[in-house]
Chains A and B, each alone.
Chain A
Amino acid sequence: MIQSFLGYLHSGVTPGEAGNLIWIAIYVLLVFAGISVGVMFMNWFERKIMAHMQVRLGPMRVGPHGLLQPIADALKLIIKEDLMPSNADKLVFWFAPVCVVMTAFCAFIVVPFGRTHAITDMNIGVVFMLGVSSLGVLGVIMAGWASNSHYPLMGSLRSGAQMVSYEVAMSMAVVSAVMMTSMVTGTGTLSMIGIVEAQMQQHIWFAFSFFPVGLIALSVFTIAMVAETNRAPFDLPEAESELVAGFMTEYSGFRWSLFFLAEYTSMMAVSAMATTLWLGGWLRPFPNLLGGRNWDVAFSLVPGLTFAALALICFFTYTRMPRIRAMRGDTAGLAVLGCLLGAVGVVMLLPAVRIRVQDIFWFTLKVAFFMYFYVWGRTTFPRYRFDQLMKIGWKVLLPISIGVVILTALIGVRQELFALVWR
């Protein structure tokens, strides 16, 4: 067993491909923990960023600057009373949040944080992710049905219809990105790692390739993914001020937190898909424009420096905390956090660590950019009415995405012919 444990370390593949069960288990646990921490962080992040954009402060009291707020929310949700409507279908009621959470987490099986940092690499990775996201729709509809009340049912049907409609446009955009992978080698690939490697080989992120077709595909995918995850401006089914309160109405406490977890996880999953397909996955920015050994070293210092900068922000905020007795705990906690972040930053500057960590760091940074965009959009835009939402999905995004596919194909074929003629 030790042999198998150590033997994996020098292979250049993901644990799933190597068939190493121990490492698969370790990676599964790491991914699960990472996403859970990510969801908790997203909760804080969203509340803080929304608050700052709304010229207010957001959570400030629960920990220093509200950093312990997600933990308080999680505790509150866990200790809440577990309700079930009287005539609800008990099995389906229980299973719906489980289904949504499972499918959201399953999507992360193929998400590559680095060349070897994925649980596995299926050769149909992209299709697997899209398929698993579609299963999530089933969970949503089950939730509405099991609640035995026509308002959640209407809400879940609307939500389901919306998710299904925007999946079509999403898939078309994905097809266009996959077609771009076949440019140099002549054979495309559906595997997530293969797509990033294709971007590496072609020395261009697909967002900028076949300019501006790549960008249009990315924008279509971004809009579709916002609608897919029921976020503003497409969040009519779960809006608070609308009449039909959405499929989550009858769920309280821990079950509701599972839906919440699933929503943020699927947000991260589709952002990961967008990053992999168009933004070069784990590749650092400007690999050939700013290429060469020195630039490589410089870019590999960025993760450590980011954490060091975060530690500095912590210490700066520490100096600005009010000096009253009641805030002593918070101030001390902030100093400890600053030290921890600083320590992590220093560790990440060590050569042995920074080679391994930089892929994960760039990938996470790009996903974080998408998450910021989600929060930014939620804060800014009003809500679409349901018929307008469906109209956009079918009559605007779908034709554009089909057009993108056709254009990609045409440009791709033309470039191939061009290269053929000149050889």
Chain B
Amino acid sequence: MSDNQFYESLDETKPGHTFLDSNELVLNMGPQHPSTHGVLRVILKLDGEKVNGIECVIGYLHRGIEKIAENRTWAGFGPFVDRLDYTAAVSNSLGYCLAVEKLLGVEVPKRAQYLRVILTELCRLASHQVWLGTHVLDIGAVTPLFYAFRDRETILSVFEKYCGARLTTHAFRIGGCRWDAYDGFAKEVLKVCDDLGPMIDEYRDLITGNRIWMQRTKDVGYISVEDCMSFSITGPVLRGSGVAWDLRKAQPYSSYEDFDFDIPIGTAGDTFDRYVVRVEEMRQSIRIIRQAMEGLPEGPIIAKVPKVLRPPAGEVYMSIEAPKGELGYFMVSDGGPQPYRVRVRPPSFINLQALEKMAVGSLVADVVAIIGTLDIVLGEVDR
């Protein structure tokens, strides 16, 4: 039903309103709520426990990042891009730099590509840790949050030593990387990989096999492959429904084709499968990081790029496999030092469309689980 129809149905003066219908309750899961992963407002129409209708109201975190881009230089916009999906800032930076490099036609040196891969996969691990902790917390288990954040601390300290910031990393520059690996980088990154393997086994013991977890997540939030395609949903949500589509394999960028890794796929398209897919992705990320560290070539870390960038007029769309899905940047250049238009294709925003499909017909307590399994970050949804 369209926006107008939904709001009219709440208006008591209009005919056909449902507010005072027997048994139907309008519940507002407001912008401030422990479970909405940011400032997301969800309006639920409930019949007892069952969800009849759901409507998301977004925009509480809109900061006009795309408009800001039109008033900053190409290099100066780099720090802003971290603030989109703030749990995985390095990933956003990678996407932006790759898009501008595509526009410029610049070839990034091999060492920089490998460094980028290592940092991006570490960032994928960090983002999945946040997802794991918060999703499990919403379902009720309070401890894995702290374990996940403790593991995330090791990754963030690598980021801090590499680029000077833990969250808004601004890790990459157009043309390559600004910093080379610091002393002890290899040792620390491999330690992260070694430590994380047993942690993931702990999650398996604590959560995956747990009967309460399985009861809460199996057959909850089902979405079929056809619906995924029609909503253009990507990322672990799509892979949980059974489609082996990963941009790192389908359209490799930044030398991902050099690495050997698997794409975990689910079969049932429910919350449990998406959970298993993401946990498996963490293991595959560790594999990639190890391979990249082993094969890290010597060489320059940044290509020769002019100080003031003036890409030739044109447009480009470059997308990467961010932890949340396909993160795309559509950029239009008019030949000047500032972008003409930057449009971000945020995976969380597109995936949020699935909320209605998944939640209608399920129970109230499942809505929280479904929002968690979609892994949305409002910084991306609202920009």
- Taking CB atoms, residues of chain B closer than 8 Å to A235 are 140
Structural contact, A385 and B367, CB atoms closer than 8 A: no
- Tell me the nearest residue of chain B to A239, going by C-beta: B140
Contact of B49 among A50, A56, A386 (CB under 8 A): A386
Residues of B16-55 at the interface with A, using a CB-CB cut-off of 8 Å, are 25, 27, 29, 34-35, 44, 49
Does B4 sit at the interface, judged by CB under 8 A?
no
- Taking CB atoms, residues of chain A closer than 8 Å to B215 are 384-385, 388
Structural contact, A54 and B138, CB atoms closer than 8 A: no
Structural contact, B206 and A380, CB atoms closer than 8 A: yes
Structural contact, A240 and B216, CB atoms closer than 8 A: no
- Tell me the nearest residue of chain B to A386, going by C-beta: B365
Structural contact, A382 and B140, CB atoms closer than 8 A: yes
- Tell me the nearest residue of chain A to B365, going by C-beta: A385
* Docked complex Cα distance between A53 and B142 (Å): 10
* Docked complex Cα distance between A233 and B212 (Å): 8
- Taking CB atoms, residues of chain B closer than 8 Å to A242 are 35, 364-365, 368
Does A381 sit at the interface, judged by CB under 8 A?
yes
Task: Choose the segment among B101-109, B143-151, B177-185, B263-271 that binds chain A (4+ C-beta atoms closer than 8 Å).
Answer: B143-151
- Taking CB atoms, residues of chain B closer than 8 Å to A381 are 140-141, 210, 212
Q: Mark B101-141, 1 if CB is under 8 A from A, else 0.
A: 00000000000000000000000000000000000111111
Residues of A206-264 at the interface with B, using a CB-CB cut-off of 8 Å, are 232-233, 235-236, 239-244
- Tell me the nearest residue of chain A to B142, going by C-beta: A379
Structural contact, B29 and A241, CB atoms closer than 8 A: no
Structural contact, B142 and A50, CB atoms closer than 8 A: yes
- Taking CB atoms, residues of chain A closer than 8 Å to B216 are 382-385, 388
- Taking CB atoms, residues of chain A closer than 8 Å to B25 are 150
- Taking CB atoms, residues of chain A closer than 8 Å to B86 are none
Residues of B358-378 at the interface with A, using a CB-CB cut-off of 8 Å, are 363-368
- Tell me the nearest residue of chain B to A240, going by C-beta: B34
Interface of A is mostly: loop
Interface residues contributed by chain A, number (CB under 8 Å): 27
* Docked complex Cα distance between A385 and B216 (Å): 7
Structural contact, A56 and B146, CB atoms closer than 8 A: yes
Does A81 sit at the interface, judged by CB under 8 A?
no
Does B261 sit at the interface, judged by CB under 8 A?
no
* Docked complex Cα distance between A379 and B143 (Å): 6
Provided the pairs A380-B143, A388-B215 are in contact, do residues A241 and B138 lie with their beta carbons within 8 angstroms?
yes
Structural contact, B368 and A241, CB atoms closer than 8 A: yes
Structural contact, B150 and A382, CB atoms closer than 8 A: no
A147–chain B nearest beta-carbon distance, Å: 16
Structural contact, A382 and B143, CB atoms closer than 8 A: no
Structural contact, B368 and A243, CB atoms closer than 8 A: yes
A-B contacts besides A241-B368, A383-B140, 19 pairs, CB < 8 Å: A54-B143, A56-B146, A233-B140, A236-B365, A240-B34, A241-B34, A241-B35, A241-B140, A243-B44, A378-B142, A379-B142, A379-B143, A380-B143, A380-B206, A381-B212, A382-B141, A383-B216, A386-B49, A388-B215
Residues of B within 8 A of A (CB): 25, 27, 29, 34-35, 44, 49, 136-143, 145-147, 150, 206-207, 210, 212-213, 215-216, 363-368
Residues of A within 8 A of B (CB): 50, 53-56, 150, 232-233, 235-236, 239-244, 378-388
